[in-house]
Structure formats: C-alpha cells, structure tokens
C-alpha cells in the first residue's frame, strides 16, 4: 500500500496537492498548491520549490483499462495571470505540460504520487481556468527499462 492509500484508509495525514505548469522547452514554470498556505516541497528530480496557495480542484482519471485517461484541473484565475501565461505559450505554438504532485504534510521532501500531463483543452469562465490534461508520454517510459520476458522470468510461460 503506498503512502497516499494508507493516508486515505487511516484518515491521518493531510494531503497537499501541487501543480507545476510550463511550456515545453521553457525553464520557467508556474507553481500552485491547493489551499491558502504556501508550501515548500521537494520534487522527484531533486529541486526544492515553493508552491503558492490558490483554489484548485481536480478530478483524477478512472482506474480502468480504457485508452482515454484524462485529468481535469480547475485553477483560480481571478487575476487573469494563468490565462495570460497559458495563452502566451499557445500563441508561441508550444505544448503545455503540467505536473500534478501529491505530498503528505508530514513529509514534503518527496511526492507520494506524480502525474506528468499534457494540456489538451483549456477553458476560461467565471474567474476559473479549467484544463483537460492527458497522459501522452506513456510510450516513452519503457526505454531503457528492462523488459519482463520468459528469459528473465521463466515462470511467465505458465501464466
């Protein structure tokens, strides 16, 4: 059982959700955390980032075998900063990437779950920026990892 599942089951720690948004090839990113508090957290690639708190809602994808998995994220856009930056990326013809991370309040040094996403659709209404994001980098995650074959694990022959 991973730490997030254990947290949901026990009702213990608070879950901190963060969003990092950037354009492909850009070094700078927009950072957000759910709630009113700013959180300084470690990332999976060794960076330490401070995520300012804003209103965030997310709808995680279903756990099923369908080919279409999407995550919907709604961000507070009262000041219009999110829309201005994202539309600037789109006008430049760049792909927009989002990284959705979840942390436990007791351990902010490393995320307990990470989703690397590509923005598919965006909508702005009533001071809210809503993004539909998809998992599109699944094909590149196999290389250079080891493949589980019958030569490596002979027991697979009998499954």
pLDDT score, position 27: 87
pLDDT value, residue 33: 93
pLDDT in tens, 73-108: 999 988 888 899 899 898 888 999 999 999 988 889
Low-confidence ranges of the chain (pLDDT < 70): 1-12, 62-68, 136-147, 159
Q: Is 118 exposed, middle or buried (0-12, 13-18, 19+ CB in 10 A)?
A: middle
Three-state SS at 55: coil
């Amino acid at each position: 059982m991973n730490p997030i599942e254990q947290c949901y089951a026990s009702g213990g720690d608070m879950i901190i959700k963060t969003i990092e948004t950037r354009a492909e090839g850009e070094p700078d990113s927009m950072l957000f955390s759910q709630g009113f508090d700013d959180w300084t957290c470690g990332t999976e690639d060794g960076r330490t980032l401070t995520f300012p708190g804003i209103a965030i809602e997310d709808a995680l994808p279903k756990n099923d075998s369908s080919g279409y998995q999407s995550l919907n994220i709604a961000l507070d856009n009262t000041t219009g900063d999110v829309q201005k930056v994202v539309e600037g990326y789109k006008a430049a013809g760049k792909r927009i990437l989002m990284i959705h991370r979840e942390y436990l309040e007791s351990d902010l040094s490393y995320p307990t779950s990470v989703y690397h996403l590509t923005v598919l659709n965006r909508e702005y209404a009533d001071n809210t920026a809503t993004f539909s994001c998809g998992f599109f980098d699944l094909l590149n995650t196999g290389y250079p990892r080891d493949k589980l074959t019958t030569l490596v694990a002979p027991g697979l022959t009998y499954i």
